[in-house]
Each structure stands twice: as structure tokens, then as C-alpha cells.
Structure 1
Amino acid sequence: MEQLKGISIFVEAVEAGGFSAAADRLHLTRSAVAKTIARLEQRLGVRLFNRTTRMQSLTEEGRFFYERCLRAVEQIRLGEAMLESGRREVRGRLRISMPVLFGRHCIAPILASLLDEHPDLELDLSFNDRIVDLLEDGFDLAIRNGPLKDNPDLMARTIARQRMTVCASPTYLDRHGAPQTICDIQLHEGIVYRRGDYDRGWIFPTSADPWRRIAPKARLRLDDLASISDAAVAGRGLAWLPCWLVRVEVLAGRLVQVLKHEPANVFDAHAIWLRSPVMLPKVRLAIDTLAARLPAVMG
């Protein structure tokens, strides 16, 4: 059993990217992880990791050993999943990655409510806009917005549809008037989302062009959607934002939706998980719950 524990900690250290990260996942100290790896190396008679003061990387022998250990660990995990799938109760830790704002506003409140219903469930929620690797980063589930790339190792389910809207403050509209058509947007000041050197165009699908892009005049560019909403409330111009993000501001009268008669850009939110013969009950519960409850908060 001690040998199996050492192998599982070794695999976790590789997947987590280091001893400290593995220790956090396993609720151990970094010293305990390092000592376990050292004992495993001593028993095998090889060095598995190259160590520096800041990081650990696999040796050639470590890579060879990891590839074979991973197969064994995956079989053990599959066996645990099959046993757990036969239980009615949901238990264990569920690690989920999600976009920062969408996760904070829409996903996390729904998932947190599951803790009241399932006392043996633990949630580990990570807010990050990068696309994570479920296997390497150790996540059970990820939430992603927009189109997905084909990946034979992943499964996906649409859990909600997000609708974009153009909005502005009453102060801005009093000064400049409201656009009456999509083309009028080009005559207005816009608050534009920029990522790197790229300005995201405002998309308005039509029968002739499902990706028709309109660009307003823009003197203010931001790479944070919440800041764009704040700037719109302050009267800095028109903003193109998800309905769920501006819902409270619209209800409070701090923002007004315009061009509501025009077709809006709509895109899907997906739950992503690793392809497996058996789906863990805790993963299925999270996906089913989000699919059932998300539409009500999307606006």
C-alpha cells in the first residue's frame, strides 16, 4: 500500500507541475511530498525529477516511469468511478475551472447551493480565463464560452445560451440620442473590449452575414468586461456586453438597452469533461444542475 501511495503522489506531482502544487491538491505539506518522492527514487534506484530551488522537471527515467504509472493510476481511478457511480449519494471533491466574470456572476452561486443539498460534497472552484488542460491541471470539469474545437479526448454539453446587448447610460443617451439602426453605432462613442492588439468587433447576425461586425468610434479601450460596464454607467459611451453582466444595472435604471429590435449575437456556454466510460455522479450533478438553473440567470 505504501508503494501505491508513493506512485499516486508521484503522478500527482507530475500532473500538478511541482511538489508544492501537488501538496496543495493532496492536502499535504511540500516536505511530505518531497520525502515520498525521495523514498520512491531510492527504492527504484533512479532520479525521477531534476530539482532546482524554484521548480522540478522530469528526468528521462522519470518520464518513462510516469507514462507507465499513469496507465495504472487511470485504471484505479476508473475503478473508483465505477464504484462511485453505483452509489446514490454524491461525495468527494469536485474541481471546476471557469471564466472569471461568468463564473463569479452565474456559475459559482448555483454550484455553491449544492453544498447545502449534499453534505459529503466538496467544491474547488478556479476562476481563470485561460483554457485549462483538464488532465494536466487536474480538473474534473471546465466551463467554456463560445465555439469549441474538436477534441476526441473531451465530452461537451451546452448548459446555456448567452445573449449580447448594446446599452448606455441615460445621461449618455440624453446627450447623444439612441442609435436607431445597427449602422448608427458607427456614429457613436463606443467602449471597446481589447485583448492584446485586437479590438473585438460588435457582431450582429443577419440572414446575409451571420458574422456582421460593426465598429463604433472608440477612444476608450479596456480588457475587462466589468470595467466596460462601469464606464458605460459613467456615461462614457455605448457598450456591447452580455445580458447577464448588465442585468442589475438595467433593472436599476443605470443602463438602458438599445437596438432591442435588432437580432442579437447569441453564443453557447459549455460544460467540458474528460471522455470516460463512466461519469462520476458529482460531475453529472454539476452539469445537470447548471443546465437546469443557468437559463434563469442569463437575462
Structure 2
Amino acid sequence: MDDRFAGIREFVTTVDRGSFTAAAETLGVTGSAVGKSISRLEVRLGVQLLHRTTRRIDLTTAGETFLLTCRRILEDLDQTEAFLSTGHEQPIGRLRVDLPTTFGRRHIVPVLLSLTERYPRLVLAVTLQDRAVDVVGEGVDLAVRIGALDAYPDLVARKLGEQKLVICGAPAYLARRGEPLRRDDLFAHDCLIGWRRNLQLGWLLANAESGNDAAYFDVRARHELTDGDTLLDACLSGYGLAQLPGWLAREGLRTGALREVLPDLSTTTPIHAIWQKTRHLQPKVKVAVDELTRLAALETSVFQP
């Protein structure tokens, strides 16, 4: 009888290491043994898992689907073995995390890296982007999202805090163009937009006439910049007004390199950690969520508006 698990570890290790040779070094076998093992797995499944060329190995569509299941199998097995040998559940394996670009790079990645010092068998696979990934379909273990969330029955969300949005300009720009005193004055200004795919262009502004409700307001976009640090640099350099997260504008406001305008239009957006709903939360996800929750509770946390 064929072993249904034969070739799975070789397949996952080859994808992770990028070649048969590198996988062989990790597994302590020869490169040809790894290649033959994966070939036998493909024959048994009746599908091609990898595109092979002389320079690289890429996953096929079937390989991408199968990889998600294989990772779960191996991680569950490693987790159970660790529990049997130590009596404790340990965060083990590859933690796939998706984060907003600038916020994630500045504030979340350092936290996750510190976790790997405490838990050496925890391996990070972090993507930084400003599109909303399909957490379940793309095999993401944990994501941090800024902004209102849609309700998905197969996801769990934990609110970490809020992000305040402020409108800022460099003193030189305001001296040259004047300071806006009301919302409609923005039409006469160069505005820097943090562009995101499939999202409305404009700024999320509080509506003083209807309490603190916020709505998108179309402004005259002078430049569209996808990266938060680039948006900040353009604003500091006097290219226009920008609506910036408070944590990103804080230093410029403190030093006077930026000035806030139209403070009555400032609003906040929520920050959530989200993950797939399961019967048993994997230890690798739990420790990451617990650490983010602990930091969010601190008065000096970046999660506070």
C-alpha cells in the first residue's frame, strides 16, 4: 500500500528552501532523492505540483492548494509531538502574517521578531501590503487590518485599538498657499492621497453636523502615493496637505516640521487582528494575538488614538 504521507515533507521543504538541493541539505538526503520523492507524489495524486526549470521551481495552481493542507498536517504533527514530549503546547512552525505596509513594518514586525527569540521554533512568513487578502483562501494565519471590517462568519476579529487621522501640512506649504479654515477650502489645495486599490480616493473626514460620523470626502488629489512613509516625506517636503495616521505624523507635529489643520475634521479608524475561526486556536497564532493584545493595552501603545 502506498504511504499517503510519502513525499509531503520533501514537497514542503523544497518550496520553503527554493530548490531540491537546498531541501536535501535540510532533510539530510540527496537532491535526486528529494526530486524522485516529489515525482512519485505527483504520480500518486495525478497532478503536477511544481513547475521545474533549470533556474527555479514554482508552484502550480494545484501545488498552491496542496501546500496549504500539507503545511497544516506537518505543523499539527510537530505540535502534537512537542506536546507529548514536554507536556506543554508550544508555538511551532510557520506563522503566515499579513500586515498593512507602513504600520506593519514600523510597529508589528518588531513585535513578531521578538516572539521568535522566546520561541525559536516559530518561523515568520510576513507580507506587507495594503490590499485585503483572503485570509482563509490564501492560507494566512493572522492579519492586522486598519479600517472598518466586513463581517465574515469564518473569521475572528479582536479590536486592538484605534488610529487617529489628522490633516497636516508643512509650514512652508501653508505659508505659500494659506491655511484651510473649512472643509470646502480643501478644493483649493494640493492634496496628497494614500491610494489603495479598489478603495475610494479621498479622505475620511468627521462630519461635525452629524456628530462624529465619518464619510469619504473627495479632495483634489495632487499626488497618489501608496506607501505611508513616502506620503509623509512628500508632506514634510511641502508638496501638499496629507491626511496621516497620528502615529505617523506625531514626530513631525512635535518638532514643528508639520502643522495640523482642520482638527474638527479629524476622525479615527479601528485596528483589528483577524484570524480564521477554528475549534482550537493554534499556539503560534495565540501567542502572537496575546502579545499584540498586551501591547495594545499599554497607555503608551501605538494602538491608542
Shared fold by TM > 0.5?
A: yes
1:256 aligned to which of 251, 255, 259: 259
Matches of residues 74-223 of structure 1 in structure 2 within 5 Å?
Answer: 87=88, 89-195=90-196, 200-206=201-207, 208=210, 210-223=213-226
CA spacing shift, 1:258–1:139, aligned 2, 3 Å? same
Aligned equivalent of 2:27: none
Q: 2:144, 2:272 within 8 Å by CA — same for their partners in 1?
A: yes
State the distance in 2 between where 1:290 and 1:222 align: 28
Structure 1: gaps spanning 5 or more residues? 14-18
Aligned equivalent of 2:250: 247
Q: Offset of 1:188 from its aligned partner?
A: 2.5
**Equivalences, count:** 284
Aligned equivalent of 1:297: 302
Matches of residues 276-291 of structure 1 in structure 2 within 5 Å?
Answer: 276-291=278-293
Aligned equivalent of 2:275: 273
State the distance in 1 between where 2:61 and 2:123 align: 31
State the distance in 1 between where 2:293 and 2:48 align: 42
Aligned equivalent of 1:38: 39
State the distance in 1 between where 2:282 and 2:267 align: 34
Higher relative contact order (CA 8 A, sep 6+): 1
CA spacing shift, 1:188–1:135, aligned 2, 3 Å? closer
Q: 2:102, 2:227 within 8 Å by CA — same for their partners in 1?
A: no
Q: Which amino acid aligns with 1:293?
A: L
State the distance in 2 between where 1:147 and 1:213 align: 13
Instruction: Output the TM-score relative to the length of structure 2.
Output: 0.74
Identical residues among aligned pairs (%)? 31
CA spacing shift, 1:155–1:56, aligned 2, 3 Å? same
State the distance in 1 between where 2:198 and 2:192 align: 15
Q: Offset of 1:78 from its aligned partner?
A: 5.2
CA spacing shift, 1:31–1:279, aligned 2, 3 Å? farther
Q: 2:10, 2:23 within 8 Å by CA — same for their partners in 1?
A: no
Structure 2: gaps spanning 5 or more residues? 25-30
Q: Offset of 1:110 from its aligned partner?
A: 2.1
Q: Offset of 1:234 from its aligned partner?
A: 0.9
Q: 2:101, 2:129 within 8 Å by CA — same for their partners in 1?
A: yes
Q: CA RMSD in A?
A: 3.9
The one-character-per-residue Cα deviations of 1:20-58 (angstroms, maximum 9, x if unpaired) are x4544997268665432212345x3x6321757475546
Q: 1:183, 1:214 within 8 Å by CA — same for their partners in 2?
A: no
Q: 2:6, 2:41 within 8 Å by CA — same for their partners in 1?
A: no
Q: 2:206, 2:214 within 8 Å by CA — same for their partners in 1?
A: yes
State the distance in 2 between where 1:276 and 1:196 align: 30
